[in-house]
Structure 1
Amino acid sequence: MHKDWTNRLPAELPSPLALAYLGDAAYELWVRRFLIDAGLVKVKDLHRLAVELVRAPSQVELLRWLEPQLSEEEMEWVRRGRNANSNRCPKSTDVATYRLATGFECLIGYWTLTCPDKLELLQTYFESRLGNNRQ
């Protein structure tokens, strides 16, 4: 049985790194679903696009697009995720980009638990970036 995370105080929520862990998985699943819904069927194309969209620089680009639409509380979760020390950074990106991407993933984890309807903003972003190729 899943806990009800809505209306919880910030101190009652998982740590920023735990939220980023959840957000990483939730975001990748969301991207894969979007690509399949868009009509892509070749696994090679699905994989190539999914990898591109879940990379840290792409997450930071999306975060920058989202920022004007975020509440102060949501921005606080981005900051908490960004400032959380995970003691790791992939070789494929710099520390600043990786930390911002972790902030983005923390936000996605926060939304997944507390207000999943906010994930619809991702749909708006991807439709504007990639076009709506649904059939």
Structure 2
Amino acid sequence: MDNNKIVNKNDISNYSPMAMAFLGDAVYGLLVREKLVLECNRPAGVLHTLSIKQVNAAAQAKGAKKLLSVLTQEESDVFKRGRNTHTKHTPKNQSEGDYHYATGLETLFGYLYLLGEEKRLRELFEIINGDGVLNSETGSDKD
């Protein structure tokens, strides 16, 4: 994906934060699923249950807060643009604050994906999940 820009940097401002968050949600979910498969090869139903624990507003908000100090100014601006976007609803089982932070994270991941920045995406993902967050709930042994 590096150097495989889908969108030129000059054109990316044409996309709304919510459109980038829509894409970023899928990118983040794929990275979680990839990590789960590679680290704890389990049946699909178990993997799905484990992924739900990571791909939700509370977990993503926690992850976003881990990133704030390492973001470039440009990345921080994109994150804030997503976080501050007014949405039509907040999921009933999530706090509004968590939802906004998660939206900021998803916006950033969508932005980086569109620019073909896979290396940076993976760096940020590892800051969030590289400390065994996924394994801490799954066990590191493989069947």
- Please state which band the TM-score falls in when normalised by the shorter chain: 0.7 to 0.9
What is the Cα deviation at residue 134 of structure 1?
Answer: 8.4
**Structure 2 match to 1:4:** 6
Conservation of the 8 A alpha-carbon contact between 1:37 and 1:134:
no
**Structure 2 match to 1:105:** 106
* Alignment root-mean-square deviation, CA: 2.3
Equivalent position amino acid for 1:39 in 2: C
Q: Residue 90 of structure 2: SS of its match in structure 1? A: coil
Conservation of the 8 A alpha-carbon contact between 2:61 and 2:101:
yes
1:1-135 map, 5 Å: 4-8=6-10, 11-12=13-14, 14-114=15-115, 115-121=117-123, 122-130=125-133, 133=140
Gaps of 5+ in 1: none
Gaps of 5+ in 2: none
Q: What is the rounded CA distance, in whole Å, between the counterparts of 1:73 and 1:30 in structure 2? A: 22
* Higher normalized contact order (CA 8 Å, seq sep 6+, divided by chain length): 2
State the identity as a percent: 30
Conservation of the 8 A alpha-carbon contact between 1:77 and 1:107:
yes
Q: Residue 128 of structure 1: SS of its match in structure 2? A: coil
Q: Deviations over 1:6-53 (max 9, x none)?
A: 4336534x1111000000111111111110011322223211210000
Bigger Cα displacement from structure 2, 41-50 vs 70-79:
41-50
Conservation of the 8 A alpha-carbon contact between 2:17 and 2:107:
yes
Runs of 4+ in 1 over 4 A off after TM superposition: 131-135
Q: Residue 38 of structure 1: SS of its match in structure 2? A: helix
Equivalent position amino acid for 1:119 in 2: L
Aligned length: 133
> What is the TM-score with the length of structure 2 in the denominator?
0.82
Conservation of the 8 A alpha-carbon contact between 1:59 and 1:101:
yes
> What is the TM-score with the length of structure 1 in the denominator?
0.86
Q: Deviations over 1:64-112 (max 9, x none)?
A: 1111110111111111101112201111111111111101100110111
Equivalent position amino acid for 2:110 in 1: G
